[in-house]
Amino acid sequence: MRALLLFDIDGTLVSGGPAKKAFHVAMLEVFGTAGPIAGHEFSGKTDPQIARELLRLAGFDDAAIESGLEDLWAVYLAELGTRLPSRPMVPLPGVEELLDRLRADSQVALGLVTGNVEGGARLKLESAGIRADWFPVGAYGSDHEHRNELPGVAIERARRHWRADWVSQDVVVIGDTPRDIACGRAHFTRTVAVATGKVDRRTLMEAGPDLLLESFADVDRALDAICGQPGRA
């Protein structure tokens, strides 16, 4: 295979949905507080990182946080699953055609690198009409709290799944935040930023991706950027 493409989810493939509300409710039920969640920045972070940051700000020590995380994810996933049917995630412009065309390319392998816990990732994608099994491998917030560790997890899983030994420049990490770019660069992969999330174009440029796209709406251009050679789009 020519390339392994590792996509972020929120702000990259889909937008909207009730995840923050579900997370808030779960934090209150399990820990009795969600900390200063209203103004807290979620973009590009893993779910465990967000929970730990909020709970530390609320005065919890790490032992107390760790003791409640398993229950937190169970409640969060139940809340998310209940709320998504009435407020589903929405595919971002061009995403459905882009994925259809990538899936038809036998030289491309699709995976995920996302801060979502695995169950949340699957629920969000499916609610947007994007089948989770289109991405046979991935790395999730439930695999590691630190996002920079996730591409290595996904690449190793992909190597086992496809029995392919990609070098770093065969792997592309695609996301909408500087943290997506940073985690790819930590593993010497190519990086493609897309300005469809909450981060402005200038900030994304300063993070130094190999390529920057406004969106996936121009599918031909997006395909050339993602599957072509490094360069500025």
* Residue 230 confidence class, pLDDT cut points 50, 70, 90: very low
In the chain, % of residues over pLDDT 90:
93
Note whether 3-16+89-227 and 19-83 share their fold.
no
> For the domain 19-83, what is the CATH superfamily, name and number?
Putative phosphatase; domain 2 (1.10.150.240)
Domain borders along the chain are: 3-16+89-227, 19-83
Q: Is it the case that residue 7 has pLDDT exceeding 70?
A: yes
Q: By the 8 A CB rule, do 191 and 210 touch? A: yes
Helix (H) or strand (E) holding 123: helix 118-127
* Residue 219 confidence class, pLDDT cut points 50, 70, 90: very high
Residue linked to tokens 């107390």? 64
Tokens of 117: 């816990």
Q: Is it the case that residue 39 has pLDDT exceeding 50?
A: yes
Q: Is it the case that residue 123 has pLDDT exceeding 90?
A: yes
Q: In the predicted model, what is the mean pLDDT of residues 11-17?
A: 97
Which residues sit opposite 211 in a β-bridge? Answer: 192
Tokens of 90: 């929405």
Q: Is it the case that residue 18 has pLDDT exceeding 80?
A: yes
Burial class (CB in 10 A: 0-12, 13-18, 19+), 193: buried
pLDDT tens-place string over residues 52-88: 999 999 999 999 999 999 999 999 999 999 999 999 9
The hierarchical CATH code for the domain 3-16+89-227 is 3.40.50.1000
pLDDT of residue 79: 98
pLDDT tens-place string over residues 194-207: 999 999 999 999 99
Helix (H) or strand (E) holding 109: strand 108-113
